[in-house]
Copies of this chain bind each other. A is one copy, B any other.
Amino acid sequence: MASTTSPIRIGVIGYGNLGRGVEAAIALNPDMQLAGIYTRRPPAQLKPGNADTPVYAMDSLLSHKGQLDVLILCGGSKDDLPSQTPELAAHFNLIDSFDTHARIPEHFAKVDQAAQGGQTTALISAGWDPGMFSINRLMGEALLPDGATYTFWGKGLSQGHSDAIRRVPGVAGGVQYTIPVEAAVEKVRSGVRPELSTREKHRRQCFVVLQDGADADAVRQTIVEMPHYFDEYDTAVHFISAEELARDHGAMPHGGFVIRSGNTSAQSKQVIEYRLQLDSNPEFTSSVLVAYARAVHRMAQAGQYGCKTVLDVAPSLLSPKSAAQLRAELL
């Protein structure tokens, strides 16, 4: 399976944080080749990290059908992927990072219909959550049926909560970090299977730049009482300058833990923990997309058409190494 000699030709759809991360990740995988970036912007306006990477208008995508093995869709889950993934799955093998958990079954159904019709392989919802965390939730349950699963996120920048802060009247800019409560993590690790409230699991930390003349107390109050986003958490609001925001909060760190705590007998507690500590959330998601694009290519070559998720992918399909090499080196 790993004896394929010509590189896997990847088309990147969209060139924001995720697209740039995919470009960087492909450069680290010698069995893959970035065949082109496809954009809705005028192609000449787009400056890829590698000046030699071809940039094309989205309109030309269909005419390149025979030259692309897998598309990596780098658009957003709200506006781009719900229509784009099924549309393109009718013609191409592809992968996306659709991450609206509640809508995955609906997205799956649409993509599956398109991929079955087009005889393509389309993997949705790759990344780390959904993605690597999902795999670990599944395996935790399967290995320790008598147990409880805990997911903690952070410390990390939450895009949705940062957006919510920025919509508050009087706010000129800001970011929000989700932080797991260390005492809760330790309790879960101890194997006692605690019941934890929302407030006990995570706290929220906001760095906010005020507009000229805004009332700091009113802004703080509006943030900490915001329903769904902040009211169920302990939230700290720090006011900083626009310069500090730009200097100290430009990165997009994230991560978290999936912990499965269970018993195999009355006296034996067993704890499985999977942890990510990411300096760059989009770059890691991109790396996951690229590794799973390799699996998509192989599944398509094997005639395994339709919509797939990370839960359907055998680990060996992710590695450029041969099965024999994997058994000898990594098993």
For A328, give its contact among B105, B278, B324 (CB under 8 Å).
B105
A267 to B314, CA, bound (A): 31
In this complex, how many residues of chain A approach chain B with their Cβ under 8 Å: the count is 66
With both beta carbons as reference points, the residue of chain B lying nearest to A253 in the complex is identified as B268
A103 to B275, CA, bound (A): 31
A304 vs chain B, min Cβ distance (A): 10
- Please determine whether A291 and B328 come into contact, CB atoms closer than 8 angstroms: no
A1 to B291, CA, bound (A): 26
Contact with B along A123-140 (1 / 0, CB 8 A): 001000010101101110
Residue of A108, A137, A270, A312 ringed by the most chain B CB atoms within 10 A = A270
Identical chains bound together, number? 2
- Please determine whether B269 and A279 come into contact, CB atoms closer than 8 angstroms: yes
For A139, give its contact among B101, B270, B278, B315 (CB under 8 Å).
B315
For A287, give its contact among B28, B143, B291 (CB under 8 Å).
B143
A189 beta carbon closer than 8 Å to chain B = yes
Contacts of A270 in B (CB 8 A): 276-280, 283-284, 287
Which residues of A, 292-313, contact B by the 8 Å Cβ criterion? 294, 309-313
A24 beta carbon closer than 8 Å to chain B = yes
- Please determine whether B264 and A271 come into contact, CB atoms closer than 8 angstroms: no
Contacts of A271 in B (CB 8 A): 275-278
For A101, give its contact among B104, B272, B331 (CB under 8 Å).
B331
A150 to B323, CA, bound (A): 21
- Please determine whether B280 and A330 come into contact, CB atoms closer than 8 angstroms: no
Please name 30 pairs of A and B residues whose Cβ atoms are closer than 8 Å in the assembled complex, sorted by A: A21-B264, A24-B265, A101-B331, A105-B328, A138-B319, A139-B315, A141-B330, A142-B318, A143-B287, A143-B288, A264-B286, A264-B287, A265-B280, A267-B279, A268-B278, A269-B279, A270-B276, A270-B277, A270-B278, A270-B280, A270-B287, A272-B276, A273-B274, A273-B275, A273-B276, A309-B331, A310-B331, A311-B331, A313-B314, A314-B314
